[in-house]
Structure 1
């Protein structure tokens, strides 16, 4: 019974923490920038163009430099991504997204450290504090450090 009541208390506190995050200035900035991005037709055209070329890029990646359109697609990807990244709404959203991720990482780190030094928590947007991306495959294509 004691364990159950303790768990209920922990869950209540975590819900309170979630509500605090949702009401934070960082979350408000994120929501506002996301809304502005979604409502801007020009920004949406750039995002869609990037998503479309990204599909072609993934197809080219399967064959690498041996793909007949490798050079053309790689140049298009860089050009369209640069255009998208230079858009004010996209840039504002990315900044807000990074700030929110930083807040969540900081909170996760504080919770983990309060439990113990050996507890792993996301750091700098990564899934594991040892610098890996968290996919667990350890394949040469990703740069993960599978444990």
Structure 2
């Protein structure tokens, strides 16, 4: 059974979701994502890179002892560079990064409203450093000092 507080939180979450999806950052991400999905050349490049990654993972199981270790590793690195310099894929990565940063900021704001001790993995050292000075984490054994 939902209480009025639960219902209010659901409405606020929906409002926040609407704000995010109507933001310029989100709209740019969706626009570029569609362009990548509709671009046949980009899709072929990404499919080939996926195949290379599968070969690379197979080679990594044996490491430097695999006969194709050097050639596959070099090919993956070279092709990754080509993908990184593709203008459309670079634009997609940039918009993806901007959306990730927006969502990380929102996550931090929400977590801090509940408790300053909540850890939010952002993947961004700037945000992670702002969260806490707890070193080693609570699972590191001994007295952690978080709290």
**TM bucket, shorter chain:** 0.7 to 0.9
Larger Rg: 2
Q: Give the secondary structure class of the aligned counterpart of 2:47.
A: helix
5+ residue gaps, structure 1, are 131-144
| Structure number having the greater helix percentage | 2
5+ residue gaps, structure 2, are 130-136, 140-147
Question: What whole-Å deviation, never above 9, does each CA across 1:79-108 have from its counterpart, x for those lacking one?
Answer: 111111111111000000000000000000
Q: Displacement of 1:46 after TM fit?
A: 1.3
Residue equivalent to 1:58: 57
Q: Give the secondary structure class of the aligned counterpart of 1:117.
A: coil
Asked if the contact 1:46/1:83 (under 8 Å) is kept, the reply is no
**How far apart are the structure 2 equivalents of 1:91 and 1:85?**
6
Residue equivalent to 2:13: 14
After TM superposition, the score normalised by the length of structure 2 is: 0.81
After TM superposition, the score normalised by the length of structure 1 is: 0.81
> Which of structure 1's runs of 4+ aligned residues deviate more than 4 A?
none
**How far apart are the structure 2 equivalents of 1:125 and 1:46?**
28
RMSD: 2.1
Residue equivalent to 1:83: 82
Question: What whole-Å deviation, never above 9, does each CA across 1:30-88 have from its counterpart, x for those lacking one?
Answer: 01110111111221221111111000011111111111110010011011111111111
